[in-house]
Amino acid sequence: NAGVTQTPKFQVLKTGQSMTLQCAQDMNHNSMYWYRQDPGMGLRLIYYSASEGTTDKGEVPNGYNVSRLNKREFSLRLESAAPSQTSVYFCASSAPYRNTEAFFGQGTRLTVV
Amino acid sequence: GIQVEQSPPDLILQEGANSTLRCNFSDSVNNLQWFHQNPWGQLINLFYIPSGTKQNGRLSATTVATERYSLLYISSSQTTDSGVYFCAVGNYGQNFVFGPGTRLSVLP
């Protein structure tokens, strides 16, 4: 059981390049999330998807777009990368009912030069 | 939105000591979790505890939902307990907000 899988694990981009971070979960969860973590700081929510077909902005959505491709997959796209987007990105998923917890992927370390 | 505070921000302990970490949140929630982020950056689920008390080995947690706080207890600390401890709260189908974390260093 893989849980939440993120790809790639590491990426270096030049300013202005675009890329998509992929996330997939195999726990049949409805809700999925994207966070960023800057050095020495907590996790800040970028976007979340409560269920397939819906997405909502979190605390720091500017410069990002998301796609909930199906129930399993939730991708995060940087259209024109900036150095300020250098961060570690985490994807998570959870089920929208009682006694369930959110599970996180291992993270994607992105550097924009 | 929901605000989450954690205290203390930093904690240094000698191996074998006990500690209590606190999480305060500003609104009613039906999901509260504690995580440990290890030195390699992995987020490890410790407790799912929207209310009540749970124990897992040397760690235990208590959430008093009516007073909007949660406590994480670490007993007989070990060097492998070092890292950052995060509290995160939310409501089903909505956003899930993290606190700023408590950075714990356990010295041998």
Q: Over range A45-60, report the average pLDDT.
A: 92
Does residue A41 contact residue B84 with C-beta atoms inside 8 Å? no
Q: Is the pLDDT of residue B43 over 90?
A: yes
Would the CB atoms of B93 and A96 count as touching at under 8 Å?
yes
Q: pLDDT by residue (tens digit) across B4-19?
A: 999 999 999 999 999 9
A84: helix, strand or coil: helix
Q: Nearest CA to CA, how far is B91 from chain A (Å)?
A: 9
What is the enclosing helix (H) or strand (E) of B52?
Answer: strand B52-56
Inter-CA distances, B68 with A7, B26, B88, B92, Å: 36, 7, 12, 17
Smallest CA-to-CA distance from A46 within A65, A70, A73, A74 is with A65
Q: pLDDT by residue (tens digit) across B56-77?
A: 999 999 999 999 999 999 999 9
What pLDDT band is residue A89 in, cutting at 50, 70 and 90?
very high
Would the CB atoms of B95 and A56 count as touching at under 8 Å?
yes
Q: Over range A15-34, report the average pLDDT.
A: 95
Give CA–CA dist A76/A73, Å, rounded. 10
Q: List the single best residue of A52, A66, A87, A94 to mutate versus B (max B Cβ within 10 A).
A: A94
Would the CB atoms of B31 and A94 count as touching at under 8 Å?
yes
Q: Over range A66-81, report the average pLDDT.
A: 96
Q: Which tops the pLDDT comparison, A112 or B2?
A: A112
Pairing label, strands A10-13, A108-112: parallel
